[in-house]
Amino acid sequence: MNNSYSMQTNGQTNGSNESFKFVLEKRTDIQSPAASNQKQPSCCLGVSNVSYTVSERVGPWWDLPSYRKKWTRQILNDVSFHVDSGQIMGILGNSGSGKTTLLDSIAGRIGNTGTLIGEVFVNGRKVKQTLFQECFSYVLQSDNLLSYLTVEETLTFTAHLALRQHSASAIRKKVAAVMAELSLSHVANTVIGGRVFPGISGGERRRVSIASQLLQDPKVILLDEPTTGLDSMTANQIVVLLAELARRDRIVIVTIHQPRSELFRVFSRIAIMSCGELVFCGDPGEMVDFFSSCGFECPEYCNPFDIYVDLTSVDTRSSEREAATYRRMHDITSAYRRSEIYQRMTWKIRQSCQRANKPMIPFKSKESPSCMSKLAVLFRRTVRNLSRDRMGVIMRLSQNLIYGMFVAFFVMNLDNDVNKGAVQDRIGIIYQAMGASPYTGMLNAVALFPAMRAVADQESKDGLYQKWQMFLAYIVHIFPFSIISVFIFTSFLYWVVGMHPDPWRFMCFTAVIMVPHITGELLTLVLLGVVQDPNMVNSGMALLNIAGIMVGSGFLRGTQQMPVVFQWLSYLTFQKYGCELLIVTEFYGLNFTCNSSLGFPEGCLIKDGNIIIDQLYPGGPSRYTLDFFMLYAFLPALVLLGVISFKIRDRLVRR
Ligand SMILES: Nc1ncnc2c1ncn2[C@@H]1O[C@H](COP(=O)(O)OP(=O)(O)OP(=O)(O)O)[C@@H](O)[C@H]1O
């Protein structure tokens, strides 16, 4: 079997009418087991009998009888392969064949919903599942990058998070070297960009994601569909670049959809998956040989990738087709298992395990900085990224003010006459200020945080830091914005409508309003830790806030008239303490006038604000300091809750 195939191009290489045919020639690169024993690669990866099963409900939740039943589904079935350093392996297969699950299982990102069995060897040494993440770098299909950082800044921050023992100049050199290796030097100072403003191209973004992984010097790089969403020329360039990375003594494994035919010569190994099984895994020449021996010649001028993936896919459009294509897939898989290619592969895995002087497992560089240094780097990165978001900054600073303007122009001047709304308008303003401030905080979090969360999900899986550390770094940056934004809001509203003209009371008013605004943002972040969908968080927050102001304020129904359970619940709302403080701040010692001809003469019985305080919050002034303490206690409590929420997220997020 020393005959094999090489490829001849026919026509233009980049034109649409490109084509090629296979020509028989003598192979020299396929070594016998004895020969390959002489030349050992510096690193090798062996995956042996990996299977993954999940337990699933048989039916949907609205069909209770079937929902109660469970069945076991085999997602990966006895997958084995071997790759040496210097090689790039492409994993092909139709949609749902298990490519991503295979990468996830090797990358240690499979989650705990199913059962993973099998063994992974690096340099013949068995790697524990818990160490997969420290050994393999994983580039996800979607690029999670911060839009407002430049390419160089992105890589520099990542390097600071990953490499402690390197000096600043060493990190600069390292970043420059990685950028050069991935041909990114020309866009070093260009921002990544986002949906609403331009930045680097899709292919360059993909290369930045790969570069971030290279900073940790991984020996094995896994990439899930790195070419998806790119035009075919850029996709080819990415694969060629990955092949070059592999050639520099690394192992690169990449899942790919519909590679172009000229990539045939780029891959060192090709694996084809179908229904969770590895139907074939070998070098490109072997692949053509193998399928021909199974009776499936690749027609001239056809893309062998398309032909072989089609041949091994199961067509579920009708039961007859399904049975026939499944049989064909099964026959090919059986033939592969009996083939010399498969025997050689299993022999290589065994041989690497039995080697006398096995090299050590090459873990990624793991010189993480201390917790405080990581927090400092994350904080700097968050501030740098978000402070460049002009719309984000404007929104943060102005939305409270815009709302304040609306309320101020609606109320205009507060009167001191009880019959001209002196009490009602003041209570209305307090109700609105307390009720609306959490919403503006919530809007900020929902608009800005999910992008940061996606980055943290990825980087925490890379072992750079933990998700709760990013949460802490993010909330630190909230405070200055909140203080300025609330100060602008209260300065405008308080003085324009003419609330109590005591500067000290104005400061207290501002200090109280600060808390619901920050609490709104913090509570949203806490929920975003455990709920993936920001829209659900939006709705949840709106409901919580409505419930809080209803039960806590006592404006809709006096606290004394509420059922006991609500009276107790009111102590858990920040609105209770906030409203009480604002009522005391505004009404304490405030004298009213009364023009009895304008309204109810009984209204004139309300001569001063203390009567209102006694009605709404009896004993309120004596609890003034305690209320402040209780109100501000919500902030550290929510920070703690946030840390817990993001620790729970570690378990919830699979990839
Ligand atoms: N944890 C899980 N629970 C239930 N089903 C799962 C789980 N993980 C994967 N699957 C199922 O396994 C099959 C293989 O999924 P996978 O994402 O690996 O396919 P794929 O080949 O990467 O597909 P694509 O090319 O479309 O991304 C799919 O049908 C998927 O729904």
Average pLDDT, 10 consecutive residues per value, the chain (655 residues): 36 36 39 49 87 89 87 91 92 91 88 85 86 86 91 94 80 91 91 86 90 88 87 85 90 87 85 92 89 84 84 86 90 92 91 80 72 90 92 88 89 84 91 92 92 92 90 92 93 93 95 95 96 94 93 84 89 94 94 76 79 90 95 96 94 72
In the three-class reduction of DSSP (H, G, I as helix; E, B as strand; rest coil), residue 13 is classed as coil
Residue 572 corresponds to which tokens in the numbers above? 């858990």
Residue 118 is inside which H or E element, if any? strand 114-122
Q: Whose CA is nearest to atom 11 of ligand 1?
A: 75
User: Residue 599: what pLDDT?
Assistant: 64
Q: How far is the CA of 197 from the centre of ligand 1 (A)?
A: 33
Q: Which amino acid is at 19?
A: S
C-beta 258 within 6 A of ligand 1? no
**In the chain, what are the domains?**
44-354 (3.40.50.300), 371-654 (no CATH)
C-beta 256 within 6 A of ligand 1? no
User: Residue 368: what pLDDT?
Assistant: 65
Please state the atom number of ligand 1 nearest to the C-alpha of residue 276: 14
User: Residue 33: what pLDDT?
Assistant: 44
Answer whether 239's CB lies under 8 Å from 254's CB.
Answer: yes
Q: How far is the CA of 98 from the centre of ligand 1 (A)?
A: 5
User: Residue 32: what pLDDT?
Assistant: 43
Residue 537 corresponds to which tokens in the numbers above? 């968080």
Q: How far is the CA of 627 from the centre of ligand 1 (A)?
A: 53
Q: Whose CA is nearest to atom 1 of ligand 1?
A: 113
Q: Whose CA is nearest to atom 9 of ligand 1?
A: 101
Nearest to 182 by CA among 140, 137, 151, 143: 151
User: Residue 296: what pLDDT?
Assistant: 84
Q: How far is the CA of 113 from the centre of ligand 1 (A)?
A: 13
Q: Whose CA is nearest to atom 26 of ligand 1?
A: 95
User: Residue 195: what pLDDT?
Assistant: 76
User: Residue 29: what pLDDT?
Assistant: 41
Please state the atom number of ligand 1 nearest to the C-alpha of residue 113: 1
In the three-class reduction of DSSP (H, G, I as helix; E, B as strand; rest coil), residue 278 is classed as strand
Q: Whose CA is nearest to atom 5 of ligand 1?
A: 54
C-beta 98 within 6 A of ligand 1? yes
Q: How far is the CA of 97 from the centre of ligand 1 (A)?
A: 7
In the three-class reduction of DSSP (H, G, I as helix; E, B as strand; rest coil), residue 327 is classed as helix
User: Residue 601: what pLDDT?
Assistant: 66
Q: Using CA atoms, how far apart are residues 564 and 581, in angstroms rounded to an integer?
A: 22
Place of tokens 């019959």: 419
> How many residues are given for the chain?
655
Residue 22 phi/psi, 5-degree rounding, is: -95, 140
User: In sequence order, what are the residues at sequence separation of 6 or more whose Cβ sits closer than 8 angstroms to the Cβ of residue 511?
Assistant: 628
Pairing of strands 70-84, 125-126: unpaired
Pairing of strands 3-10, 19-26: antiparallel
Q: Using CA atoms, how far apart are residues 444 and 460, in angstroms rounded to an integer?
A: 23
User: Residue 255: what pLDDT?
Assistant: 93
Please state the atom number of ligand 1 nearest to the C-alpha of residue 111: 1
Q: Using CA atoms, how far apart are residues 179 and 152, in angstroms rounded to an integer?
A: 8
Q: How far is the CA of 119 from the centre of ligand 1 (A)?
A: 21
Residue 204 corresponds to which tokens in the numbers above? 């360059």
C-beta 100 within 6 A of ligand 1? yes
C-beta 54 within 6 A of ligand 1? yes
User: Residue 42: what pLDDT?
Assistant: 78
Residue 619 corresponds to which tokens in the numbers above? 């004993």
Q: Which amino acid is at 513?
A: I
User: Residue 187: what pLDDT?
Assistant: 93
Q: Using CA atoms, how far apart are residues 48 and 449, in angstroms rounded to an integer?
A: 41
Testing ligand 1's pocket by substitution, the residue of 55, 73, 75, 140 carrying the most ligand atoms inside 8 A of its CB is 75
Q: Using CA atoms, how far apart are residues 291 and 486, in angstroms rounded to an integer?
A: 70
User: Residue 35: what pLDDT?
Assistant: 44
User: Residue 7: what pLDDT?
Assistant: 35
Which region, left, alpha or beta, applies to residue 74 given φ > 0 means left and ψ of -120 to 50 means alpha? beta
C-beta 95 within 6 A of ligand 1? yes
C-beta 540 within 6 A of ligand 1? no
Please give the ipTM for the structure prediction: 0.96
472-496 pLDDT per residue, tens: 999 998 999 999 999 999 999 999 9
Q: Using CA atoms, how far apart are residues 539 and 523, in angstroms rounded to an integer?
A: 13
C-beta 96 within 6 A of ligand 1? yes
- In DSSP terms, 136 is beta-bridged to 220
Q: Whose CA is nearest to atom 10 of ligand 1?
A: 75
C-beta 75 within 6 A of ligand 1? yes
Testing ligand 1's pocket by substitution, the residue of 56, 99, 110 carrying the most ligand atoms inside 8 A of its CB is 99
Q: Using CA atoms, how far apart are residues 273 and 41, in angstroms rounded to an integer?
A: 26
